[in-house]
Structure 1
Amino acid sequence: MAQRGSGWLGSPSITTSTANKELVPTSPAQWVNVKLGFYKFEFRNLQACTVKINGGNPIYLDAEQGFVSGSEDATIYNFVIVESGIQYQWVGAY
């Protein structure tokens, strides 16, 4: 199987959320007209929270439930935590 990705990005440490702040970083300047997306993505929440993925409907996650998507799932272009004050970490492959 050929290599799909070119790198990883993620939280440098446990981070505390700001309500509705985008977790997926903006694309590097040299990626002209290409939006950064993760073909694999893992999110770990320390408290119960609600997330929105790719602009979809709110999804409730219990404390420490987390969220994982793999290469067979939709690419993650947008991921927000609805509430502020949630401790979390994430990692994504692009």
Structure 2
Amino acid sequence: MSLRFGSGYIGSPSIETSTSNHEVIPSPPSNWTMKYSLYKFSFSNEQECHVSINGGSPIYLRAGQGFQMDIKDQPIMSFKIFEPNITYNYMGAY
């Protein structure tokens, strides 16, 4: 396993609210040529919802269950919430 050195962090500036089919991970700065590739990620949801990670099949999360991953897992480039009006916050390292 190779040693990874991160470049920075992204995250919610406050509690956010989803829209239908909402992408949580923002677009990177306009001078970047690639999407964010997060090697650490945590997500906290206040209501039950379904999410898709990197375009995969829907995954059910109970209210307050959340999700987290680290460097041992596949990097995350997309994290979508299917339902509208889900309040959440997230943090990630790239």
Identity %: 51
CA distance change for structure 1 residues 42 and 20 in 2, over 3 Å: closer, same or farther? same
CA contact (8 A) 1:24 1:37 kept: no
| Distance across 2 between alignment mates of 1:26 and 1:15 | 16
Residues 39-80 of structure 1: CA distance to partner in whole angstroms, max 9, x if unpaired?
Answer: 100000011110000000000000100000101101110001
1:5 aligns with 2:6: yes
Whether the aligned pair in 2 keeps the contact of 1:17 and 1:81 (CA below 8 Å) is yes
Q: Does residue 72 of structure 2 align to residue 72 of structure 1?
A: yes
Matched, 1:83 2:90: no
Mapped to 1, the partners of 2:59 and 2:5 lie a distance apart of 28
Shift of 1:27: 2.0
Q: Which residue of 2 aligns with 1:18?
A: 19
Per the TM alignment, residue 3 of structure 1 is displaced from its structure 2 partner at its CA by 5.6
Amino acid at match of 2:46: L
In structure 1, runs of 5+ residues without a counterpart are none
Q: TM-score, normalised by structure 1?
A: 0.92
Provide the C-alpha distance between the structure 1 equivalents of 2:3 and 2:70, rounded to a whole number of angstroms: 16
Aligned length: 93
CA distance in 2, matches of 1:35, 1:43: 19
Runs (4 or more) in structure 1 with deviation over 3 Å come to: none
